[in-house]
Copies of this chain bind each other. A is one copy, B any other.
């Protein structure tokens, strides 16, 4: 194991407290750690992870190590690194960590390189940096590629990079597309982002949703999460969507559905979450009411055309509350939240711990799967196996104290007979 690189080892106490608190919010991952501790399914396996270095991630590392893994961690984004968490991981839990809050790009590259130098057998990525670097510098060390059992990737953009490798015939190992798992999409996007998006809007504005009209652009998992929660908060909800199936579903759920230009005149709050760019542009801004609030819940800050807004702001722009910029577009005032960046992260705390719990539980089980059965998988991007989704759901139910039945033998036979 290489030497760690953290800001201040003496912060370990503070970091340990923080990790413990997070652990209290992560019962699913904790139950996996306890089983791993007993079964040691990752015994001696070298796992490298490039993730946000936070207390929640620390508990993933703890679970992997409980399973017997040699875990090394670097920061996917130096700005989110918690130095005390990093210190505790090294000092208390014996992990290898390369992360200092606020480091520059050179340091970032050095950290990734350090992890790759350890010849990891399994990689865990948030943006595909580890797996890409491994492939790029791999040829210099063929034994490195041989060591590789498999990888995990949890972002859409990371998967584009990995699939590009696959398309070029260069992908050397199986990769699980973690963020495409059902528990990720159906639960985390809908319930996690649904709640935290509204939370971000309320923290930024303190407005009252009841009585107001909220327009959601995009009725995918996150969009429907936002729509359901906004209705639950007393808002009238309008959905704008380009896919007729999704649009019809929104309508059947009782939401109003209409074109964006019509909605622009009706809304008090606008939330974009389409994955497309330029969803709200000049022609929409020109129709909006005085006082309208604009927020983006999509991954990238391209959904609201901020440049258009700036051009229209003949009366100036000023920050009227933290994270609220007010554009005076000739008598009407439009309020942009968090400069159009993803509002649940920028104005609230992003995913609740309960959501990270399920995500990291999924990742821990995917590592176990790769170690147990990775050799049977082709070098390609694979969906997370259904049994893992199901196991995460079952563990989550247990954590919530919910019991369910199983089919009797007779019922299983009967069901089989006609399906």
A interface residue numbers (CB < 8 A to B):
17, 21, 24-25, 156-157, 160, 182-183, 186-187, 190-192, 195, 199, 202-203, 206-212, 228-229, 231-237, 240-245, 247-249, 251-260, 262, 275-279, 289-291, 302, 318, 320-321, 326, 333, 348-349, 352-355, 389-391, 393-394, 396-397, 400-408, 410-411, 414-415, 418-419
Pick 26 A–B contacts, CB within 8 A, sort by A: A160-B418, A187-B249, A187-B252, A191-B234, A195-B202, A195-B209, A199-B199, A207-B353, A210-B252, A210-B253, A210-B254, A211-B248, A211-B400, A234-B252, A236-B254, A236-B256, A240-B404, A242-B406, A244-B391, A245-B393, A251-B397, A256-B256, A257-B402, A258-B403, A275-B418, A302-B414
Contacts of A191 in B (CB 8 A): 208, 210-211, 234, 252
* Contact in complex: A278, B410 (CB < 8 Å): yes
Q: How far is the CB of A415 from chain B (nearest CB, A)?
A: 5
Chain B residues within 8 Å of A254, by CB: 210, 231, 234-237
B234 close to A233 (CB less than 8 A): no
A400 & B212 in contact (Cβ 8 Å cutoff): yes
Closest to A247 in B: B404
Which one of B21, B209, B245 lies within 8 Å of A321 (CB-CB)?
B21
Q: A276-B407, A403-B258, A415-B275 are in contact. Are A233 and B236 (CB under 8 A)?
A: no
Q: Which residues of B contact A396 (CB under 8 A)?
A: 211, 248
Bound state CA distance, A336 and B158, in angstroms?
A: 40
Q: How far is the CA of A254 from the CA of B410 in the complex (A)?
A: 31
A256 / chain B contacts, CB cutoff of 8 Å: 236, 256
Q: Which 8 A-B pairs have the closest CB atoms?
A: A232-B232, A208-B352, A244-B394, A244-B393, A208-B354, A191-B210, A248-B393, A276-B411
Question: B404 and A257: CB pair below 8 A?
Answer: yes
| Chain B residues within an 8 Å CB radius of A394 | 244
Given contacts A182-B245, A405-B240, contact A291 B24 (CB under 8 A): yes
Contacts beyond the supplied A206-B352, A229-B232, A248-B397: 4 A-B pairs with Cβ under 8 Å? A24-B333, A241-B405, A242-B407, A244-B393
Note all chain B residues with C-beta closer than 8 A to A228.
234
Question: Which B residues touch A352, using CB under 8 A?
Answer: 206-208
Measured CA separation A113–B401 after assembly (Å): 58
- In the complex the two chains form, is B240's CB within 8 Å of A229's CB? no
Collect the chain B residues with CB atoms within 8 Å of residue A253's CB. 210, 234
Q: Does the CB pair B240–A234 fall under 8 Å? A: no
The distance in angstroms between the C-alpha atoms of A24 and B245, with both chains bound, is 23
Task: Give every chain B residue within 8 A of A249 (Cβ-Cβ).
Answer: 186-187
- Contact: B259 with A403, CB < 8 Å? yes
Q: How far apart sit A209 and B405, CA to CA, in the bound complex (Å)? A: 25
- Residue among A21, A237, A321, A326 with the highest chain B CB neighbour number at 10 A: A21
Query: Nearest Cβ in chain B — how far from A305, in angstroms?
Result: 11
Q: Pick the contact of A389 from B160, B245, B257 — CB < 8 Å? A: B245
Q: Which residue of B lies closest to A277 (CB)?
A: B414
Residues in B with CB closer than 8 Å to A195 are 202, 208-210, 233-234
The CA-CA distance from A212 to B390 in the complex, in Å, is 20
A419: B residues at CB distance < 8 A: 156, 275
Contacts of A187 in B (CB 8 A): 248-249, 252
| CB closest chain-B residue, reference A259 | B405
Q: Is A289's CB under 8 angstroms from B401's CB?
A: yes
Q: What is the CA–CA distance of A392 and B251 in the complex, to the nearest angstrom?
A: 14
- Do A402 and B21 have beta carbons less than 8 Å apart? no
Indicate if the CB atoms of B278 and A408 lie closer than 8 Å.
yes
Measured CA separation A236–B187 after assembly (Å): 16
CB neighbours (8 Å) of A415 from chain B are 275-276
Chain B residues near A326: list those with CB within 8 A: 21
Residue of B208, B257, B404 near A259 (CB, 8 A) is B404
Could you tell me the distance in whole angstroms from the C-beta of A280 to the nearest C-beta in chain B? 12
Name the one of B211, B234, B321, B397 contacting A229, with C-beta atoms under 8 angstroms: B234
